[in-house]
Structure 1
Amino acid sequence: MTVQEVADYLRIKERKVYDLLAQKLIPCTRVTGKWLFPRFQIDRWLEKNSEIQHQTLAHQASSPPLLLVGSHDLLLEWALRECHFPFAIQTTGSSEGLADFINEQAMLCGLHLLDPESEQYNIPIIQQKLDNQPVVLIAWARRQQGLLVAAGNPLGIQKISDLRDKKVKLIDRQAGAGSYILLETLLQRDGISKETLTFLTQPAYSHTDIGDAIAHGKADAGIAIEAVARQFQLDFIPLVYEQFDLLIHHRHYFDTPFQSLLNFTKDKRFQEKAQELAGYDISSLGAVRYNCQSSR
């Protein structure tokens, strides 16, 4: 069963399933990035853990699960696996993740949403969407974003206008993703209409999907972070440094799971991993970028 199917089977909300996943309380397996639940194991689990099931159903609706939503980040994903209180991860893009966060479907949201007018990341959209809610925005990293191309850069791509002039076959991100918004902004600055470019029919839903498509020859180029270029041994044309932040409610900022994540970032292994991945500036990690005390 999928997450939705097991939630229907147990007559609970999907976010409760993710809460159980984060706490490692429900039998499951992961196949190609998706959580799956063998029905016979779920039945056996229900019989042996009726008290856990009762506690899950009684969990307060105001307390979101230990779930990270929003944008995908390789360093963050690795850190969550390594720290003692791992979050379940559901990265479907910054805009969709922010909507889930607003609806109390997750405790933590990763964002890199550029506001073209102010040229600020994340703060304008939070001020607009959360309207003085008690949230805090924590700096995670500045990341190098750019164009991923095949090893050796066979098309000789050097700048945004080359995507049009060299008739490059592009793979885009889904609408609302931070990289999707960034690409549209860069095209507009250069006076390039998106209709003049050639895109694959299906968008990519993560940075690693971009890397995989280019590495396997399905696309000539796509926008993603430098760490993915290194992961897939691709060439990288840097464009901008972007700000990637973590959004969390005040009431959960000092909770053990989030503080454990922040404490782990001080570990030597974390510093070495950031350097290994490439394209990360973590000098401001943990700094408060936006803090709204008001609750209405």
Structure 2
Amino acid sequence: MSKELSYTIEEVSQLLKVSKLTLYDLVKKGELPVFRIGRQMRIDARDLDAYITNQKTNQIPKASPPIVQRNERKDSKTLVISGQDIVLDILGKHIEKRSAYKTLRSFTGSLNSLISMYNGECDIVSLHLFDGDTGDYNLPYIKKILVGHPYILINLLSRKAGFYVKNGNPLNLSTWTDLNREDVKLINREKGSGARILLDEQLRINEIPFRNIKGYEQEETNHLSVASSILTGIADVGVGIEKAAKMVGVDFVPLITERYDLVILKTAGTMQLITAIKEILSSPQFQSEVKSLGDYDTSQTGKIIYET
């Protein structure tokens, strides 16, 4: 592996056939060194080789250590923030200014991130999970997954979600039922992402079999890639947020306002973090930075949506 100078987390994930969250956990525990180039975290090829060699030479079975929630480790000064929105970079910067924590980003979809939090692999998870039965966001999923865990749900922002379409919207796409047309090809998001759940819930509500949707099985892993697929003509429509449409340069058809929240487990080790995040989200400076990006509503930012 040493032919390459360094790897991204995603490249190492593919090489070792493990999830990115597993690698983030190794980084948090200090077992795998990393360095940063701007926003991107990279792993030196020599450090990766050393880690693999160490695992090969330490195969004598050891007694299993007691299971401890990641957030209870007093020696851990690194937080994993899971989610894709660029506002999470701003949040991480403010956390580092106000505390001794260093922040790492996991660009994982909402539902998969929530499951990782249940498994102790994430510290702050951002969510935009639509529930078709209640019309609510996030809480119905949290109550089912974080069973037995105390937590707090705080609003980060609200934003528009809808269709990415070709400029001028030549197919005149305006409702979820338009996806059922034979002349429309979709580009989908990966399973476990908020955009995928929004689409699947709307198909269920509108009684549209996913097998009817041309392109349903074709997936991308982020908003920008979906929007770019529309721009390049790979597909006619995709589901995502307004900000990405403007960044890529495609038209956007708003269909729903989604509540984008943060969930944090309440433990003895996270109470100071929760206090800091409340102060950050309520601060004029943070809200001003978010507003300057455009396309975000901060009217509920910092509001406690639910707390056990």
Look up the match of 2:28.
Answer: 19
Q: What TM-score, normalized to structure 2?
A: 0.74
**Aligned pairs for 1:52-131 within 5 A:** 61-64=68-71, 65-69=78-82, 71-81=83-93, 84=96, 87-131=103-147
1:174 & 1:154 partners in 2: Cα distance?
A: 26
Question: Whole-Å Cα distance in 1 between the matches of residues 214 and 14 of structure 2?
Answer: 37
1:177 to 193, 205, 229: 193
Cα distance, 1:32 vs structure 2 = 11
Q: 1:196 aligns with which of 212, 215, 221?
A: 212
Q: What is the alpha-carbon distance in structure 2 between the residues aligned to residue 212 and residue 32 of structure 1?
A: 22
Asked if the contact 1:143/1:241 (under 8 Å) is kept, the reply is yes
> In the aligned structure 2, how far is the partner of 1:34 from the partner of 1:192?
41
110-119 vs 183-192, greater mean Cα deviation = 183-192
CA contact (8 A) 2:34 2:42 kept: no
Q: 1:202 to 1:20 in 2, by over 3 A?
A: farther
Q: Residue 252 of structure 2 is aligned with which of 211, 228, 236?
A: 236
Q: Does 1:35 align with 2:42?
A: yes
- Are residues 41 and 228 of structure 1, via their aligned partners in 2, closer, same or farther at CA, if it must alter by over 3 Å? same
Change beyond 3 A, Cα 1:18–1:138? farther
Offset at residue 231 of structure 1 (A): 1.2
Shift of 1:263: 4.0
Is the CA contact (8 Å cut-off) linking 1:29 and 1:37 kept in structure 2? Answer: no
Q: TM-score, normalised by structure 1?
A: 0.77
After superposition, the Cα gap between the structure-2 partners of 1:200 and 1:130, relative to the gap in structure 1 and judged at 3 Å, is closer
Contact 2:27-2:33 within 8 A present in 1 as well: no
Give the superposed CA RMSD: 3.4
Structure 1 unaligned blocks of 5 or more: 8-12, 44-57
Higher relative contact order (CA 8 A, sep 6+): 1
Cα distance change, pair 26–263 in 1 and its aligned pair in 2 (3 A): farther
Unmatched segments (≥5 aa) in structure 2: 1-6, 17-21, 51-64, 72-77
SS in 1 for 2:174: coil
Aligned residues: percent identity?
A: 26
Report what 2:296 is aligned to.
280
1:146-202 Cα offsets, whole Å, 9 max, x none, are 101122223222222222326222111112221111112222333322211111654
2:272 equivalent in structure 1? 255
